[in-house]
Amino acid sequence: MTNYQKLDQLKQKLDSYRPLPVEIVKNLHEDLVLRWTYNSNAIEGNTLTLKETKVALEGITVGGKTMREHSEVINHREAIFFVEDLVKKKEPLTEWQIKSIHQLILKNIDDANAGIYRKINVIISGADHTPPDAIQVEGDMNKFINWYKNEAIALHPVERAARVHSDFVKIHPFVDGNGRTSRLLMNLELMKDGFPPVVLPVEKRLKYYESLDTAHTKNSYDMFISLIADTVESGFKPYWHVLGVKE
């Protein structure tokens, strides 16, 4: 089982330094937005490098890259800002929040499908799991929100965040942009509870996909939750670095 006690201790340690100095918060935030945007987009096949993503976030067009790839970068940053606003409100997850995040992800890319549940059946290439028929999506999303309101509250924040991610992406409610949306939703949950957000490195894409597929086809979440817990632990490192704290 995942060792949540260690994560709780790391969180307590970080809390003891709060409120963090303004310039440290700004520095960490810029770094986070860049790494989160780069890795989340790269997992989905965006070819901009980390440095190119930084340039694109500054509003400069990178030669030889598509407008879609540039839009994905700008949209993802806007979605992070939106999630951060939701964190401040500390409200439970709703379908409106999910659709709003998704709408930002597909803005100027596929406006017709942005924030709208799919009307077609889809296959996830390379996965054993087949998402439910389009006709079931609405009902499955209702069940997902009910599970969140009634059962998820009892889970440790890290487990709850991982389950929100995996259960949402299992439904695959949108035609496109489900992966990015699921990682934003996972981090919305973590940040509401004061944990640093997860930045899943693109290098772990294979392990990430395999553990998700195991969760979806075998109902076995341990591998996926363990991957998320390890990545949450890594999320504390930038804080210790800027604070000059020994781990």
How many C-beta neighbours within 10 Å does residue 9 have?
Answer: 11
129, 183, 213 from 216: Cα distances, Å: 6, 16, 5
63, 121, 130, 242 from 23: Cα distances, Å: 33, 48, 46, 10
What is the sign, positive or negative, of the torsion defined by CA atoms of 208, 194, 237, 229? negative
Sequence-distant (≥ 6) Cβ neighbours of residue 134 within 8 angstroms: 117, 118, 119, 120, 121
The residue from 165, 172, 216, 241 that is catalytic is 172
CB-side neighbour CA atoms (13 Å) of 228: 30
102 is catalytic: no
Question: Which residues are known catalytic residues?
Answer: 172
